[in-house]
Structure 1
Amino acid sequence: MSFEPVWGAPIIWYLFLAGLGAGAFVTAAFLAWRHPDAPNMRRVAYVIAPIAVAVGLVLLMFDAEAGLHDPLRFALLLSNGVSVMTWGVVFLSVFMVVSVVALVLNVAKRKVPAWLNIAGVCVSVCVAVYTGALLGVCRPFPLWNNALLPVLFLVSALSSGAASVLLVSVFLHAEEFNRVGVLKKFHFCLPIIELVLVASLLFVTSYNSDAGWMSVASLLAGSYALPFWLGLVAVGLVLPTALETWLLFFSPKEFEESRGAHYISAASDVGVVVGGFMLRFLVVSAALPILFL
């Protein structure tokens, strides 16, 4: 007997892009706070944030067929105040407004107010957590119905968003990239935290039901083992951690700002972004419902 996943590629991309966009805005606010001397990197972050989320929303609408047949269906979601989907629409709508306003102000070379950055960070965290909570309401799926999943998606969103900003900036604004040491060290910690959360999620899920055990088994040694170990663990978590550990703590001082170091950083950031997508792909695809058994 086989089981067809509930959601396909458009939803996976939506979950990934919504998280990445939210993480990019948090990165923009962090740069404004700790690295005011990196205005071009901040602009990169402000550009990525609304574009990534907007593309994700388009994919969501087409997956629900509302973009072609009945666009008012999304407005009806606002009628249920206790629904996760309703709060998701609210969070995403507010995020788009805040992120677009911040981008317009930045492009117009006007200072983005601190209160707007703070509001954007708050709603960004809500968007990132919501992408995990959206899966969690599907109670028959043990891999999704887990309190750790929203936290994992939040950490992954922050990591993917920061990686996307660093990846673009290392090629377009190398001088500023060399100055954002605090951001790099903060970002270095995220894949390590994510690895611990992934292990914890799988451990808890494997013990709560037979369906949970089978979902975990498919990731560790079954049909999804190769993308899990290679795509998520090796490329998305271990490789970036190893590369950044060497760059930040063991590489010669004169090498840190060289072009070679930039290419290594870029490889690390590509790995983080790939890992962010693989996490959503594997969580969505490998989940089995209790009723399936």
Structure 2
Amino acid sequence: MHIEVSCDSGMLSVANERGGCMTFSELIAVYLFLGGAAAGAYVVQATLDICNGVAQRKGRSDYRAPEFLCESTYRRVRRIVYGASLAIIAAGVVCLIADLGRPEAFYYLLIYPTGSLVSIGALALSLLCASLVASFCDATFTMGQCARRALRVIKVMGIPVAVVVMAYTGMLLKSVVAVKLWQSMWLPALFVASALSCGCAIVLLGMCACEDRRATRRWEAGLLRADMVVIVLEVVAAVFLLGDIAGASGLSAVWSILAGAQSLLFWVGFVGCALLLPLAVEGAVNITRSRTTVAATASVSTLVLVGGLCLRLVMVAAGVQPVV
């Protein structure tokens, strides 16, 4: 089978002799970031909610003791995180629709689903939006017990959907078989780890918006430790990904990322902002058991988000140039 890869005006087109074609614009990197970040934030916050509910049913106060996180502060964090995630995923859907070129294309993907990754991704995005709406309503409005239970069931069901969205953002690139740069299974793994780290960052930013710092410090400490673990997993996935690229595509592909046109975004944007600086700050906080300020927490969280976007920009841009 003959495969042709062409690049015109920032567009990546992959076509075969059967006439099939997949085109990626610059918006795809933004969509991959927004979809992954929103899904990661949902997984992190929904998991915290479930742990809190389990602790309450067992009569424990580990997760929401009054002296650490009162009900009003807890609801405020949930409203901010779920509301922000809903806005982020909506922006990601807009980017996806714009990249498809026809607004009705997204509608047809839902009405007439197929086994393609694009169709699966569109369905997963729609289900995640529904789960975010349910979670936001649960955190915002006062409802009856039956309604709250129904919303919580939807929230739990949304966690595996969010995991699918995180993995899909990497599998979408991997499905383009003409680009050897994207064929490693470590690419989806790296995107999932990055999405979880971005999710921790969004939740931490939501806590920074709360006035009562005493109420959020314990949760922040736990999230910083969790983010450290996820960042280490990112480092492992990135190393293995570069190794796979070097083995399958040649050193030229690795060179373009490490020392070529994408090196600045990779080293400063991804390695510096998403890995080294957050890992250094979070490690220092956990080793010294010191308390972080709002500015420090917000800065680290923002760096993680910037690094997550830079990672997608690097991988998409590096794939625009065909690797031979």
When normalised by structure 1's length, the TM-score is 0.87
Letter in 2 for 1:191: I
1:25 counterpart = 2:42: yes
1:187 counterpart = 2:187: no
1:105 counterpart = 2:138: yes
Kept after mapping to 1: 8 A contact 2:167/2:192:
yes
Kept after mapping to 2: 8 A contact 1:77/1:85:
no
**Corresponding residue for 1:177?**
216
Q: 1:188 Cα deviation (Å)?
A: 2.2
SS at match of 1:172: coil
**Corresponding residue for 1:162?**
200
Correspondence 1:230-269 to 2 at 5 A? 230-252=268-290, 256=291, 261-269=293-301
Aligned partners of 2:194 and 2:111: how far apart in 1? Answer: 28
Q: 1:119 Cα deviation (Å)?
A: 0.8
Kept after mapping to 1: 8 A contact 2:274/2:303:
yes
1:93 counterpart = 2:147: no
Q: 1:114 Cα deviation (Å)?
A: 4.3
Most deviating of 143-152 and 16-25? 143-152
Identity %: 30
**RMSD, matched Cα:** 2.2
1:147 counterpart = 2:185: yes
Q: 1:31 to 1:73 in 2, by over 3 A?
A: closer
Letter in 1 for 2:192: L
1:207 counterpart = 2:224: no
Q: 1:76 Cα deviation (Å)?
A: 4.4
Q: 1:284 Cα deviation (Å)?
A: 0.4
1:226 counterpart = 2:258: no
Unpaired segments ≥5 residues, structure 1: none
Q: Deviations over 1:76-128 (max 9, x none)?
A: 47646321111111111111111112212221045565433321111000011
Letter in 2 for 1:9: E
Unpaired segments ≥5 residues, structure 2: 1-5, 13-23, 53-62
Aligned partners of 1:86 and 1:101: how far apart in 2? Answer: 23
SS at match of 2:218: coil
SS at match of 1:287: helix
**Corresponding residue for 1:279?**
311
1:197 counterpart = 2:237: yes
**Corresponding residue for 1:59?**
95
SS at match of 1:51: helix
Kept after mapping to 1: 8 A contact 2:131/2:154:
yes
Q: 1:288 Cα deviation (Å)?
A: 5.3
Aligned partners of 1:264 and 1:75: how far apart in 2? Answer: 45
Kept after mapping to 2: 8 A contact 1:205/1:216:
yes
Kept after mapping to 2: 8 A contact 1:78/1:89:
no
**Corresponding residue for 1:82?**
115
Structure with the largest fraction of strand:
2
Aligned partners of 1:30 and 1:179: how far apart in 2? Answer: 16
Aligned partners of 2:141 and 2:255: how far apart in 1? Answer: 52
1:39 counterpart = 2:72: no
